[in-house]
Amino acid sequence: MSPEQTGFPFAAQAAKLDRFTPGRKPEQVVLLTSLPPSAPFPLLTPPFPLVRELALRPDRLRRFGIASAHRGGQEWGMVKSPSKALRLLVIAEACNPEWTSVPLVGYNFVRALAERDDLKITLATHPRNRAQLEKDPITAMAEIVYPNNDYVAGTLYRLAQLLRGDRGKGWTTNTAFASIAYLFFEYELHKLVRARLRAGEFDAIHRVTPVTPTVGSPLASWTHVPMILGPLNGGLPWPPEFPTLRKQENEFLVPLRKIYRLMPYYGATYRRIRAAVAGSQHTASEVPASFKGKKFLLPENGVDPTKFEISDEWTPPPGRFRFVTVGRLVPYKGLWLTLAAMRDSELLKTCDLAVIGDGPDREKLERMAADYGLGGCVKMLGQLDQKTMSAEMRSSQCFVFPSLREFGGGVVIEAMASGLPSIVVDYGGPRDLIDAGSGILIPMCPESEMVPALREAMERVVGDHDLCRRLARSAAERIRTEFTWDVKAEKLRGIYREVVGI
């Protein structure tokens, strides 16, 4: 029976609707009106199966992009989305708007992607994030599913904490046990979406977190849907210039780290995925030779200008020049190097140092500052929320961060956005964020050379406010063009287009 033979004026438009694939946003607007209450839905037989299904199951309207449905001479349905959207299954096991580090990175990536009209996002994340996500606007932007692997993850987490000893250290141990638990997360995810994968409801799969490149993806072996991993980051070697650092951080598993290559699904993952997005140059160099897909570089950290306003101007000191640093108080973050640099400089003793963060070494570092005669200079502010931290940064003149093994460096991006020149070590993640025009890079070298180089750089910015202004302006411009979440989402959309062709 043709649409005209049904005797209903809406039938011809209904036929257009039938041509759309379930789960894919249509390419045009279809408005169905004047459907009488007594409309004979059984007449909507093939070629109208999709319309029949929608008529009988209005609860499935959202899946097909239908905005509304009414009967009785009013609007029955409107298919909205004038452009073709890529249907994306985003895996972010860690994804939380109220936490820090990787969970916040995962959330920011997913939020930026979900805000785009040309993407239709289904997020897979752990149930531990549910309470925070359900209060967040992201629930209106994306479908969210919660695979639950707690029957394994809980036990492994407790065992990892026992072996780590000092809280805040031994992150390799934590990652190793979390990697095992993650395999079960994807197993549970596959049970939830297996039918949808087979039905072709997703154009691509993008795993955002975990960010470690050492964790395989069982899903890559269980589906033919194109898969992308990243941004990946991790595996940065402990610097040989500081041979005792690894022991201080309780990283006793490091000699066994390469065992991850024997983990289930690791080799198959890199043979099957279509693209790997590296978060740093080092991680890009460690992608296995077996990987034959496309490789991209995109640092995983970013900034949201609506929450962390980008400053155009450097703030001159109203009195004493003020340095600021942010991070966990553990050996590899290098606060002890900053204190040593200030100890032997009369100029730097006239400056202040605001320390934002907490950790197991706090008491030790407070004693060190007192022993160095810096008690009146160093202010330990503890852990601060993002708004307060932003205010502290904006009231400072320079960000000093001699971290010796930094994967990403999200705090460096926040300092750049705050209009601060930055002093960082030319190693790991910070070297991919800072260039010669936006900060000062200290070469990786032994402590005997590092401390004088750091002192010289700090004294330089104290004595040259014009340099501070130039570096701050360049840093802010670099943030706008490279490191906002919207810019990152646009770059990822380009990667999807190149990999999937949509």
Instruction: Give me the pLDDT at residue 276, please.
Output: 98
- Does residue 48 or residue 186 have the better pLDDT? 186
Q: In the predicted model, what is the mean pLDDT of residues 276-295?
A: 92
pLDDT in tens, 329-348: 999 999 999 999 999 999 99
Instruction: Give me the pLDDT at residue 50, please.
Output: 38
Instruction: Give me the pLDDT at residue 172, please.
Output: 60
| pLDDT tier for residue 168 given thresholds of 50, 70 and 90 | low
**What tokens does 330 get?**
């553990």
Instruction: Give me the pLDDT at residue 155, please.
Output: 85
Instruction: Give me the pLDDT at residue 377, please.
Output: 96
The C-alpha angle with vertex 491 and arms to 486 and 211, in degrees rounded to 5, equals 90
ω into residue 47 within 30 of 0, thus cis? yes
| pLDDT tier for residue 7 given thresholds of 50, 70 and 90 | very low
Q: In the predicted model, what is the mean pLDDT of residues 128-146?
A: 97
pTM: 0.79
Q: In the predicted model, what is the mean pLDDT of residues 123-148?
A: 97
Q: In the predicted model, what is the mean pLDDT of residues 168-194?
A: 82
- Does position 475 have pLDDT exceeding 80, yes or no? yes
CA distances from 61 to 140, 304, 420 (A): 15, 33, 49
- Does position 360 have pLDDT exceeding 80, yes or no? yes
Residue 132: CB atoms within 10 Å = 16
Question: In the chain, what is the straight-line distance between the N-terminal and C-terminal CA atoms, in Å?
Answer: 35
Instruction: Give me the pLDDT at residue 29, please.
Output: 33
Secondary structure of 417-430 in the HEC alphabet?
HCCCCEEEECCCCH
Q: How many helices (H) and strands (E) in the chain?
A: 18, 15
- From CA 279, how far away is CA 233, in angstroms rounded? 5
Q: In the predicted model, what is the mean pLDDT of residues 83-95?
A: 92
24-38, 127-141, 384-398, 458-472: range with lowest mean pLDDT: 24-38
Instruction: Give me the pLDDT at residue 252, please.
Output: 54
Among residues 301, 240, 294, which one has the least CA distance to residue 270?
294
- Does residue 39 or residue 441 have the better pLDDT? 441
Domains in the chain: ranges and CATH: 4-79 (no CATH), 86-302+484-500 (3.40.50.2000), 322-483 (3.40.50.2000)
Task: Provide the mean pLDDT of the chain.
Answer: 83
- Does position 414 have pLDDT exceeding 60, yes or no? yes
- Does position 371 have pLDDT exceeding 60, yes or no? yes
Instruction: Give me the pLDDT at residue 250, please.
Output: 61
User: Which value, in Å, is the radius of gyration of the alpha carbons in the chain?
Assistant: 27
- Does position 25 have pLDDT exceeding 80, yes or no? no
Q: In the predicted model, what is the mean pLDDT of residues 264-290?
A: 93
The kind and range of the H/E element at 495 are helix 485-500
